[in-house]
Amino acid sequence: MSREWLLDEDGRPIADALVLSHPEQYERLRHVCPEAAPTAVLAGDPCWDRMLAARPYRERFRRALGVGRGQRLLVLTSTWNPQSLLGDDGDDVLPALLPRLTSEFPADEYRFAAVLHPNIWHGHGPGQLRAWLDRARRAGLALVDPLHGWRQALLAADAVIGDHGSVTYYAAALGTPVLLGAAPLTGLAPDAPVHTFVRTAPRLNPALPLLPQVESLIARHQPSPEHAQFISSTPGESAPRLRHLFYDLIGIPEPDTPARLEPLPLPPYEPARRTVPLLVLTRLLGAGEVTVTRYAGPHPAPYDTGEAHTAVHEDTREADQLDCADVVFRYGDADDPRFGSPAHWTAEALDRHPHCALAAYVTGPASCVVRTRCGALLRVDARPGADAADPAAYASALHAWLAAGKSPQELYGPGLTVRTGGTVHRVTVTPA
């Protein structure tokens, strides 16, 4: 709301109608640029209205990103500004955070998604952006469509790391815990609600471990209704108000049918597909029970312990790591003719990688076929109705069980219990 953006060279308002979502914006406009005040129209916020209407479908949006029960979705968001989370005026916060997120956060307990301003995509180009985020994406980061997917990601989020951009403020208005990784106040009107939010919101401390900060944020979070109140003074009314304005400006009669907004679409299914080598820590807890903690980074968090092994996707770019992998795995349809069959591929993988102890072909979101070095061909499935993890984690649990000198036959009846964080996954193990 600056005069140079609102008035032309003759001091007249550029816009025929300036749509505002809240009276406090009108008061600021009247104070900063009274010449433009007569063009102001209070018409709400269609973006906010679409998110409010889609809130009942939060679990669907989470499942679209492969977020299961017991998992948390952490959304990283950056606006278009040198001082933003992805800005180059200072500490390069986001590029520094990405490798730490995969090293410090267990892969089966946290899912990450990045929502970046459209101008970042257009300013640098999609190719450059994907190149910058390449390793993070191979470690499981979802790069969200900047126009059509970001609202759904916000609705699905358990926490957000952001900056002074509008997406971060939308997250706070939804009641989602927010940590500010960048918090410049320059360029924000001192009397604007977003200024107060940026000044008072919790800060991320890059010098400290990240996981405890996020867990503490979520545990202590108390949503503030004030943020939502300033998003729109007329929630749910933007469609009729905007259509009335548009037809009035055009000068033709408004249709008799109700004005409605397009519902937010369900994004395509995009589970995490980690192709970087995974460091896996396991512990046997008892009869048929194994804890599995996987990291998509080179070093585990210092507070984790257990027997370590390496699990590597066959399509990894770090192909040299396949020769020393304990578990080699891939994802595919059971009837994909390119791999012959899960039985054929697992035999081929063990033959190609003689130091590998176990090969796993993941055939679906809850199933995999596993071949051991001693030749046993096994099917591992999540029990019906049980919480499902990435089946590659089941393969690592089975590897830990066998490495401890146990036999697969011991699991045929009772099955295998796999723990990832606080979530228990009960799976069956049967001859394939």
How confident is the model over 6-42, as pLDDT tens digits?
A: 999 999 999 999 999 999 999 999 999 999 999 999 9
Please give the C-alpha separations between residue 431 and each of 241, 288, 341, in angstroms, as whole numbers: 63, 17, 15
Cα separation, 67 vs 58, whole angstroms? 11
Cβ neighbours of residue 177 under 8 Å, at least 6 residues apart? Answer: 158, 159, 160, 217, 218, 221
Return the closest-CA partner of residue 398 out of 421, 420, 378: 378
| Antiparallel, parallel or unpaired: β 423-431 and 416-420 | antiparallel
Q: What's the pLDDT tens digit per position in 350-365? A: 999 999 999 999 999 9
Pick the residue with more confidence: 427 or 93?
A: 427
Cα separation, 61 vs 75, whole angstroms? 13
Residue 303: predicted pLDDT: 64
Cα separation, 18 vs 26, whole angstroms? 10
Q: What's the pLDDT tens digit per position in 123-170? A: 999 999 999 999 999 999 999 999 999 999 999 999 999 999 999 999
User: What SS3 class is residue 119?
Assistant: helix
User: What SS3 class is residue 254?
Assistant: coil
Average pLDDT over residues 376-393: 91
Residue 119 has pLDDT above 80, yes or no: yes
Q: What are phi and psi of 146, to 5 degrees?
A: -75, -15
H-type alpha helices, 366-406? 391-403
Cα three-residue angle 343-346-347, rounded to 5 degrees:
85
Check if the beta carbon of residue 283 is closer than 8 Å to that of residue 291.
yes
Please report where in the chains the tokens 């996954």 appear, as a residue: 425
- For 169-180, give the DSSP string: HHHHHTT--EEE
H-type alpha helices, 33-74? 46-54, 58-64
In the chain, % of residues over pLDDT 70: 98
User: What SS3 class is residue 312?
Assistant: strand
Count of Cβ atoms closer than 10 Å to residue 132 Cβ = 16
Average pLDDT over residues 289-301: 84
Residue 334 has pLDDT above 80, yes or no: yes
Residue 267 has pLDDT above 80, yes or no: yes
Task: Name the least confident of 85-89, 136-140, 143-147, 238-242.
Answer: 85-89
Count of Cβ atoms closer than 10 Å to residue 189 Cβ = 14
DSSP designation for 192 = S
Cα separation, 362 vs 315, whole angstroms? 13
* Helices vs strands, H then E, count in the chain: 16, 16
Q: What's the pLDDT tens digit per position in 40-77? A: 999 999 999 999 999 999 999 999 999 998 999 999 99
Count of Cβ atoms closer than 10 Å to residue 124 Cβ = 15
Residue 91 has pLDDT above 80, yes or no: no
Using a 10 angstrom Cβ sphere, with 0-12 exposed, 13-18 middle and 19 or more buried, the burial of residue 389 is buried
Cβ neighbours of residue 239 under 8 Å, at least 6 residues apart? Answer: 46, 49, 259, 260, 261
Cα separation, 72 vs 159, whole angstroms? 8
| Antiparallel, parallel or unpaired: β 289-295 and 278-286 | antiparallel
Residue 301: predicted pLDDT: 61
Cα separation, 24 vs 31, whole angstroms? 11
User: What SS3 class is residue 426?
Assistant: strand
Check if the beta carbon of residue 93 is closer than 8 Å to that of residue 55.
no
Residue 354: predicted pLDDT: 96
Check if the beta carbon of residue 19 is closer than 8 Å to that of residue 245.
yes
Average pLDDT over residues 201-222: 95
Cα separation, 224 vs 334, whole angstroms? 48
Q: What are phi and psi of 305, to 5 degrees?
A: -135, 165
Could you tell me where the beta strands, DSSP code E, fall in 150-202? 159-162, 178-180
Check if the beta carbon of residue 156 is closer than 8 Å to that of residue 72.
no
Q: What are phi and psi of 309, to 5 degrees?
A: -145, 170
